[in-house]
Amino acid sequence: DTEVTQTPKHLVMGMTNKKSLKCEQHMGHRAMYWYKQKAKKPPELMFVYSYEKLSINESVPSRFSPECPNSSLLNLHLHALQPEDSALYLCASSQDYGTGVTGANVLTFGAGSRLTVL
Amino acid sequence: DAKTTQPNSMESNEEEPVHLPCNHSTISGTDYIHWYRQLPSQGPEYVIHGLTSNVNNRMASLAIAEDRKSSTLILHRATLRDAAVYYCILRRANTGNQFYFGTGTSLTVIP
Distance (Å, whole) CA B30 – CA B64: 14
What local confidence, expressed as pLDDT, does residue B95 receive?
Answer: 64
Q: Looking at the DSSP assignment, which residues form a beta bridge with residue A20?
A: A77
Checking if the pLDDT of A2 tops 70, the result is no
Q: Does A99 contact B96 at a Cβ distance shorter than 8 Å?
A: yes
What is the dihedral angle through the alpha carbons of A105, B6, B76, B68, rounded to the nearest 10 degrees? -60
Interface test with B, best of A25, A30, A109 (most B CBs within 10 A): A109
Cis peptide before B111 (omega within 30 of 0): no
| Chain mean pLDDT for chain A | 92
Interface of A with B (CB under 8 A): 4, 31, 33, 42-45, 48, 55-56, 90, 92, 94, 96-112
> Which chain B residue is nearest to residue A90, measuring alpha carbons?
B43
Contacting B residues, span 53-82, partner chain A, CB-CB under 8 Å: none
What local confidence, expressed as pLDDT, does residue A104 receive?
Answer: 62
Give residue-wise pLDDT tens across range B53-71.
Answer: 999 999 999 999 999 999 9
Give residue-wise pLDDT tens across range B10-20.
Answer: 999 999 999 99
Q: Does B95 touch chain A (CB under 8 A)?
A: yes
Question: Using an 8 Å Cβ cutoff, are B51 and B58 in contact?
Answer: no
% of residues, chain B, pLDDT over 70: 94
The length of chain A is 118
Give residue-wise pLDDT tens across range A42-51.
Answer: 999 999 999 9
